[in-house]
Each structure stands twice: as structure tokens, then as C-alpha cells.
Amino acid sequence: MADELIGKTIGGYEIQELIGRGGMATVYRAQQVSMKRVVAMKVLPRQYIHDDTYLQRFHQEVKIVSQLEHRNIVPVYDYGEFEGQPYIVMRYMSAGSVDDLIAQGPLEIETIISILEQIAPALDYAHSKNVLHRDLKPSNVLLDDDGGAYLTDFGIARILGEPSAGITTQGVVGTPSYMSPEQAQGLPLDNRSDIYALGVMLFEMATGRRPFESDTPYSIAVMQVTTTPPSPRQFNPHLSFAVEEVILKALKKPREERYPHAVALAEALKRATNQPITSIHDTQPAMVRPMPVASASPPSPQPMVVVPPISYTPAPPSQSMTPNPVASYSRRRRPRRSANAWLNAAVGGLIGCGLLVVVAIVVLLLISAFSTSGGTDVIPTRTPRPTSALGDLGIRMPTLDPISRAARDTAVPQPTATDTPQPPPGTPTVQPVGVRSSVSLSPDVKAIGGSLVYFAERGDATHLYRLDLSTGTETQLTFGTSDDAYPTVSPDGRLIAFQSNRDGDSDIYVMDMGGDNLRQITRNRITDRTPAWSPNGDWLMFASDTRADGTFDLYRARPDGSDIQPVLQNDMRLSSPRWSPDGRYVVFTSGGADDAATWEIRRLDLAGDLVTALTDNSVKDWSPVYSPDGRSILFLTADGTDGDSALARMDADGGNASILYDGPGYEWGAAFSPDGRYITFTSQAGEREEIFVMPAAGGEALQVTSGGGQYAAWVPS
């Protein structure tokens, strides 16, 4: 469908071409009629002009950038409104973004230094004006044709000391892959939080990948807080030890151990590569360069200004938005990920996850000495690779793996008839019936009907909720200070299985649909996660970190906690298992424990012990789930163009893969409705994650929750 603004002249600017569409704005290439100058015009979409959250963010960006007149910050030329739609006119950058460069692989160290020594003083300059960027990443550094690098997208930046109600949500904003530990926890920030993000950027430029990758934004934020960054030289052995040391110092968890400001980081990198150090600190606008005077003596170098740490307290919550659906298209193979510079700039402020729960998770992970990790990859239409011998894939079936079984039995006390698992002291056996509240749902959502069970972080912990789509009645099912997550509903609709850290580490629990009769299924000192019901409800399958090293195995247990037994183990990260409707197959995610780029989707034939790879690592694929008729598989892929994930669909044998939905946020937690007509999934809406529903064949995504919601499961009627 043609864009309604293309061809129109707005405020003296002729709209010529759509550049990108993001969660907060649509960006066009335009020409300033009076000066014949090509510009970029950023316009707030019409559907958000009555949303105070996005209006405030739009105005905030104008206010901040107008105060930051630096040679390496993308300048704003103009600002106005057209038929109620505010717009910003900015300099047009034709060379793309740093993200585009990284998509081709690691950058040469000279290129990295050139970029860093330009944006470092610009970042320090912003800090000197009491502005925190809060979303620094490669897609927010744009390039011109002469090698110039420029900071952009201050849509979620903060001017310290000024109120910003409605700009943030739950105190956490930004992109999880680049969040500092303190930002992921919703703690007060200072300039060193941006330094951490710059360190993540440096890691990515040097290695071609981010230090932390996982299947959900939630998991990535946990890793930012708890997990030691991997060695950059592990991914790029050409890096020197000195350069690696600089990168890892920028990624220190305690902020006081990082560089005090961006220029210090840039100069440390130059020293590590034996390049001469000249003062590159610059807190002046410096858009006008003085002409040289023959008789004048050359000026002495300007001393470097040390920018002291500045801090602020996160602001209160705001409203949310609905991502824009895109049409289905056949999947194409590509090097890593595509990135349109202005699209990424427009999406810059999108992904904040509402992740204050990370504080509780930190304690959990430190106790269990477990670091969440993982990732996946995708494939175009392809022929699956059946394997007649499991040894070809390095997979050892349970009957041939007594050592693993013995290790698990030692770690997991098996319940008996007289030894029913009991919750820890202070945990009620019968959960109270939740407080009911009303959720405002559109008529289209109510017409879908049915109920969803999901988890949401609303306070200091995550709890489970049930929502009746017909009435908009939401019921809280779990309470307390523990984190309950990843619910799945039994085929008869009577039971909910989920993971929780009630006893200090993540175990599997089951309760009745009303929230009572809680019982613990696994009891150990390792992490058990993502349970899934068998089609007849006789088994629960889950992923278990048996060796406490991130290489999860697949296990199953009876719903009463008995008969725990291994299903599949091969020293890889096996996760997110889902049964086929006929009970014959299990699809799951498989890959390296700490390398998301290796993730792919595999299928286990429970009858014949045959493992088949359904995707081929061309890109990251993960979290598969069968359709109710068993003919197709819904999964997540990094092959989209917006955000870091998209919903995709393929035949049950791995063929005919195509993108189903690719919104501006990070899509995950997808599931079919019992009748197969609809799909529910989690995606970014504003600065938090919400639940959406859409037709299974593709189409418009309708937002369901407004107070946060993740990983919804349909309740069979």
C-alpha cells in the first residue's frame, strides 16, 4: 500500500521516499525545496498522535538535540507539525550506520578507532550537558560518505534534574543487549552506564557479535547483571591481548571499575594499538572551523576535560503501543542481519523490558552458580537432514547414558508415595485466589474469546495471571516474593505448569487453574526451565542444566513429580521442548551454551530415536511450537528486518519457511490457540513487553495487555 505522505510537501519539504518504519516514528528521505537539500524527516505515525507517551518522547528528542550542537551529533534542522503529526527534520546520512558495517563481519581496528574517537567526545559532550543517551548502540551511530560518525536517536535520553513522567516505564528503558547492569536493574544511572553500552559496541565491532545473546530480552538483561563477558579473542583471534583488556574493562560490572568517560576509553584503545595519543576530548559545538592565520602560532592542545559521574533516578511508568505488522514473505539467506540506518534510529528507544525483577534473579543465579545463556539460527526453504545414526549428531540417548542419569539422580531426590515434595517454609500449599481486575480490551480481541495464562513483572517479582478475553477479567494466580514464569496449560485445561525460584533455584511446579494445590515437581540445586505438556497430559518435559554449565538436557516427569527420567542429552544447550499433537515427536532448540549464533531447531522422533535438524544455522532460529493439527511449526528467527527477532512458520518437516510477522520490537513466546485460528506472542510495546494476538495466517496484531505481560499460553476450553 502506498504511503500517504510520499509526494506531499510538508513545511517546505517534499517527501520523496520511505526510509524506515520503527516503533516510534516513520522516517522519510525528503528534499528541502528552498535549498534543494536532501534531508531525513522523522514523523510520528498518525495512530500515536493521541498517545501522550510518544508525543512526550518526540518532543523530548527535539528538546535534547536542540541543546547538543556538536560536530558528531546528527543535527536537527527543523521541527513542526502536519495535520497533527509532529515531525523532525534532520541531516540525511547516506552511508548507513555502524550496524550495517558490523553486519559484514568484524571491523578493522583502524576503522574502530576512527569511529570511537569521533563519537567518544560527542558522548562526553552530551554528558557535560547533563544528558544521558541510555540507548547507545551501533544502529544509533550513523555515517556520512567521508567516514564521519554521528550519534543519533535521543528519544529516550534524559536531561538530569528534569521530571519526565510518562517517558519511561517501570524505570527501565533501552535495548537489553546494550544495557549496563545498573540499567537492567532499574537503578540510578550516571555517565558510566553509557560507557558500558559503548563497551558492548566496541566488543561487537571487534568480534562481529554481541557479548551476550539469548532467546529473550529478559534473559539477556539477566546476563548483563550476572554473567562474565566472554573473551573477545575467542571470536576474533587477531585481536591483541591489550585490545581485549580495553574491551573487558569497559564491560566491568561495577561501574567504578570502568573508564570514567568515553574519551578515556578511546585513548586506552589507541594506546593498546600503539597509536599516538592526541587530545580528542571536545565539549564545544565546533560546527564552525576557524580559518588558519599565517602569522599566528599554532594553538596549544586543549586540555582534556574530565566529566564527573552524573546520576539520575528512573522515572515512573508510561503507556504502551501496538507494533505494526508486516506482510509475509519468503525467507532469504543473509550474512547476519540486515539493518536500515534510519529504521534502526527510529526504533532506538523501543526495547525497554520492565526488568526490575532482575534483582531477584541475581540472587537466584548467584546461589545456583548458574548463568543463563543461549541463542538460535534460521534457514530458508530446505530439505531436512535426517540422521540414521544418533552418533552423527553427537547425541546419546538415555538408555545409553547411565553416567548422566546417575548424575541427575544424585542431584534430584526422587519423590516417593510417602515423600511428597513440600514448598519451603512460609510458602502456602494452597495459593489464595487472585485479586480480579478489569483489562480494557478492544471489541476485536473480545470477539476472539478464550483465556490466556501468562507471567508479568508488576513490582518486585514476576507472577502468573489469567485473562478472560471475552470479559477482560484478569486474575492474579501466584503471590509472594518468588519469580514465577513460563506457564503452560495442560491439555484438559485444569493444570498449570511453570518454573519458579521458590526454593532458591529454578524448579518446575504444577498447580490447579485457580492457583491452588501447588506442588513441586523437581527439587535440586540446578536450573530446570520451560516445561511442556505431552498431548495426553501424562508427562511434563523440561530443560535441565544437569552439569550447571549452561548445556541443558531434556528431561520428563509425571505431573505428580514422580518418574523423573532423561530424554535427550548431547552436551549442547537443549531447550524449549514442545510435543507434536500425536505425541510422536518433540521439537526443541539446540546449540552452543554460550553462542546464540549456533542455535537451530531439531526434532526428536520418540518412537525411532531419530534426530532431524529442521534448520541449518544460516541464521538464528529458536523456540519451536507445533500447530494444533501438527502440519506446521511456529518458531522465532533472527531473519527479520525489525528488532532482533520475528515470527516464522515452516512445514512440520522443515520446508517452506517464511516470515509470518516482523514488528518493530523483539517478538518471542509465541503459541497457537487450541483451534489453530490465532497466535499469541510477546513483543515490545513502548518501554515494556506486552501480549498480542493475531490470525494464524498473518494479519493485524492486536495488543491484549497494557500493564505488562509475557509468554502467554492459551487455556483449552
> Is residue 495 within a helix (H) or strand (E), and if so which, with residue range?
strand 495-500
Distance CA 692, CA 681 (A): 5
Q: 332: burial class by Cβ within 10 Å (0-12, 13-18, 19+)?
A: exposed
Distance CA 352, CA 156 (A): 10
Task: Let me know: does 680 contact 451? Beta carbons within 8 Å.
Answer: no
DSSP code per residue over 131-142 = EE-S---GGGEE
Task: Let me know: does 120 contact 198? Beta carbons within 8 Å.
Answer: yes
Distance CA 127, CA 160 (A): 10
- In the numeric block, which cell numbers belong to residue 678? 490465532
Known catalytic residue at 135: yes
Q: 492: burial class by Cβ within 10 Å (0-12, 13-18, 19+)?
A: exposed
How far, in Å, are 131, 401, 534, 541, 607 from residue 396 at the CA level?
A: 55, 6, 22, 17, 15
Q: 700: which residues sit within 8 A by CB, 6+ positions away?
A: 325, 694
Sign of the dihedral through C-alpha 445, 450, 455, 458? positive
Q: 356: which residues sit within 8 A by CB, 6+ positions away?
A: 170, 171, 172, 185, 186, 457, 459, 460
Distance CA 463, CA 478 (A): 5
Sign of the dihedral through C-alpha 25, 30, 35, 37? positive
Residue found under cell 544502529: 139
- In the numeric block, which cell numbers belong to residue 213? 545473546
DSSP code per residue over 539-563 = -EEEEE-TTSSS--EEEEE-TTS--
Radius of gyration of the chain (CA): 26
Q: Could you give phi then psi for residue 272, rounded to 5 degrees?
A: -65, -25
Q: Which of the residues 51, 100, 135, 662 is marked catalytic?
A: 135
Q: 399: which residues sit within 8 A by CB, 6+ positions away?
A: none
Termini Cα distance of the chain: 38
Residue found under cell 536537527: 76
Residue found under cell 518532543: 59
Distance CA 605, CA 703 (A): 36
User: HEC string of 400-448?
Assistant: HCHHHHHHHHHHCCCCCCCCCCCCCCCCCCCCCCCCEEECCCCHHHHHH
Q: Could you give phi then psi for residue 357, rounded to 5 degrees?
A: -65, -15
Q: 388: which residues sit within 8 A by CB, 6+ positions away?
A: 610
> Which amino acid would we find at residue 444?
D
Closest by CA to 423, choosing from 486, 359, 484, is 484
Task: Let me know: does 228 contact 373? Beta carbons within 8 Å.
Answer: no
Sign of the dihedral through C-alpha 87, 91, 95, 96? negative
Q: 172: burial class by Cβ within 10 Å (0-12, 13-18, 19+)?
A: buried
> Is residue 193 within a helix (H) or strand (E), and if so which, with residue range?
helix 191-207
Positions marked catalytic: 135
